[in-house]
A and B are shown apart, each in its own frame.
Chain A
Amino acid sequence: MAKILLQRLQETFGDAIVECGSCQGDEWARVPRDRWHEIAKFLHDDARCQCDYFVDLSAVDDPERPSADGGRFEVYLIVYSITKKHRIRLKTRLTDESPKVATLSDVWKGANWAERECWDMFGVEFQGHPDLRRILMYEEFEGHPLRKDYPANRTQPLMPYREGTHDKLGPFFQDEGMPLNRSPREDERPS
């Protein structure tokens, strides 16, 4: 149903579209990060796309993806067109060394807070954002929680455990007894 969007993107941008496809009915296209703003704005402005409704912007982290493949973070944007009733997912990949991409808050107003949340949770920097600060966590928070290498049971300096409770973790290892090697961290699984 959004094949027209993929078509328009291919026509206008040609090889800028690194990869595109459709998963269970969802159309998506991956673009290089320096064309992010341009292509997103095209989706908003073009008369046959008219994707004026902002749905979501966030990221997926895969620390083991090599830089040759794009890098660790994959930022995605989902937009919808109220008049044409089609939606598309636009993706781009960012490396760990410079997780920076252009902001889309001038195209869709809803991207403002979504990008702040992405910065807060992943550390992805949006260049040109008017107000890039943490939104869900407090300002003194250290680290970016949704990254895969941020452990789920880490405590922060501002919120320490009380005296004595830390030794009482019991016979389970730090992972509070997650069964069957489910923790994504190497050092939390039973050896």
Chain B
Amino acid sequence: MEPIDQEFEESELELPSEPMTLNMGPSHPAMHGTVRMVLKLDGESVIGCDIQPGYLHRGAEKMGERGTWQQFFPYTDRLNYVSPLLNNVGYAMAVEKLLGVTVPRKGQLIRVLHGELSRIGDHLTCNGAMAMELGAFTPFLWFIKAREWLWELHETQTGARMTHSYFRIGGAADPPTPDFTQHVRKALPRVLDVVKEGESLLLRNRIFLDRMQGVGMLSKADAISYGASGPVLRSTGVDYDVRKDKPYLVYGELDFDVPVGTDGDNYDRFMCRLEEIRQSARIIEQCCDLIDKIEPGSPDDAVSIDDPRIVLPPKDRVYSTIEGTIGHFKLIMEGIQVPPGEVYQYTEGGNGELGFFVVSRGGGTPWRIRVRSPCFCSLQACAPMIVGRMLADIVPTFGSINMIGGECDR
């Protein structure tokens, strides 16, 4: 037995240790989507990480080169699969930019409406999952319940809950049903109530705040250099939203704000998303009003362009007239003949600037379709957010960047 009052050297008391490599593998309950992180840990602190995406790479860009322009729409659905309609809109607008056409007013309003409903669904899922991983299971289920109502709305219009493929080059597959705006106006306040209830559970909870505030900080300069966009960028204080800076469709005439954070930590990203849900609700209400104001039968009332080289003829003409049949046949078999050129069209997807770089050599088949996915850049920006912090901080940080595997890997 050594005497207790003996002096010990500092160095004799330290346990020898070397960094441990831990594999947070592609299949992990806390990883949304399949991403592998090889972490170098010193005890609980992360001293290095190597983020490896690519486990959900399905070759969408390669497949785009093998079909017609219209056949790429299902691939766009499966990019950011929690807000599929936003991706549909982005791709349709890219090809329309090459063609040099714009969709009539009702088509634009419908695109904005559906897009914002999808965006609310995306943010509900992201915030709910983030909360769930911190232990709050109830808000997650409430947000999912709200998301179900939105999916039901989508289902009445597009026929599918998730991967809709509703929009087409030149418009949409079908015009909206007459009672659509009525249903939207009924569902929207209920969704906002659920958001308020979820907020009341989370935002005053000491544990939630401690795990989110000051964790996962990203500096402004870093965020800009990495090309992060959407809530990840706006939470650092940069006021960049494609809908405001380069308005497209009818965003220029709508009245909404863009929530901007200050610190760039998880809490700011969470709050940015919550506020964006409310702003999306404002946009949706204004769109419903504008749609109801359109005179039925006026040129604004069409959802698709009236151009037989781009849009399929209506089915009754396809089955009864020869011109309809020929038009339908040529569009399906040969594809829309897009003039040669290359454009980069970008929209505000659920996670930020979703861009489509489309190269056409003339003809009905694309030469190259490149998807600029916002999650890819946000995921790269995740590395400096994690390094230096503890292992448990990875969970809310990773949840807050909303890395959707389909969009990151395509």
Contacts and interface: CB of A to CB of B under 8 A. Distances in A.
A62 B62 CA distance: 14
Nearest to B346: A55
Nearest to B334: A180
Interface stretch (A6-14, A108-116, A155-163): A108-116
Interface stretch (B123-131, B178-186, B300-308, B372-380): B372-380
Interface in B53-71: 53-54, 57, 59, 61-63, 65-68
B57 A136 contact: yes
A92 to B, nearest CB: 14
A89 interface: yes
A136 B54 contact: yes
Contact of A56 (B357, B359, B410): B357
Contacts of B238: 82
A2 B370 CA distance: 22
A108 B59 CA distance: 26
Given A56-B344, A183-B66, A109 B226 contact: yes
A35 to B, nearest CB: 21
Contacts of B367: 60, 62
A24 B61 contact: no
Contacts of A134: 54
A172 to B, nearest CB: 14
Q: What's the dominant secondary structure at chain B's contact region? A: mixed
Of the candidates B53, B98, B377, B409, the one having the most CB atoms from chain A within 10 angstroms of its own CB is: B377
Nearest to B367: A60
Contacts of B59: 145, 152
B66 A178 contact: yes
Nearest to B228: A110
A152 B64 CA distance: 11
B392 interface: no
A40 interface: no
A130 interface: no
A58 B227 contact: no
A96 interface: no
B135 interface: no
B240 A82 contact: yes
A89 B344 contact: yes
A148 B62 CA distance: 9
Nearest to B365: A182
B211 to A, nearest CB: 27
Contact of A152 (B54, B63, B377): B63
B14 interface: no
A4 interface: no
Contact of A53 (B227, B333, B341, B368): B227
Interface in A10-56: 23-26, 28, 52-56
A119 B355 CA distance: 20
Nearest to A28: B342
Contacts of A87: 344
Given A110-B226, A136-B409, A152 B66 contact: yes
Nearest to B100: A24
B288 to A, nearest CB: 31
Interface bin, chain B: 35 or more
Interface in A114-161: 114, 117, 121, 134-138, 145-146, 148, 150, 152
A60 B368 contact: yes
Given A110-B226, A110-B227, A24 B62 contact: no
A102 interface: no
Nearest to B98: A24
A55 B355 contact: yes
Contacts of A53: 224-225, 227, 240
Interface in B314-344: 333-334, 341-344
B52 A55 contact: no
Nearest to B52: A135
B348 interface: no
Nearest to B363: A182
A112 B62 contact: no
Interface string B205-245: 00000000000000000101111100000000010100001
B57 A60 contact: no
A28, A82, A179 interface centre (most CB from chain B within 10 Å):
A82
A190 interface: no
Contacts of B240: 53, 82
Contacts of A182: 66-68, 365
A189 to B, nearest CB: 12
Nearest to B71: A182
B122 interface: no
Interface in A72-103: 76, 78, 82, 85, 87, 89
A66 interface: no
B67 A58 contact: no
Interface in B67-110: 67-68, 97-98, 100
A82 B224 contact: yes
B353 interface: yes
A52 B225 contact: yes
Interface of A: 23-26, 28, 52-56, 58, 60-62, 76, 78, 82, 85, 87, 89, 108-110, 112-114, 117, 121, 134-138, 145-146, 148, 150, 152, 178-180, 182-184
7 contacts: A26-B342, A55-B353, A60-B342, A136-B409, A138-B54, A179-B333, A182-B365
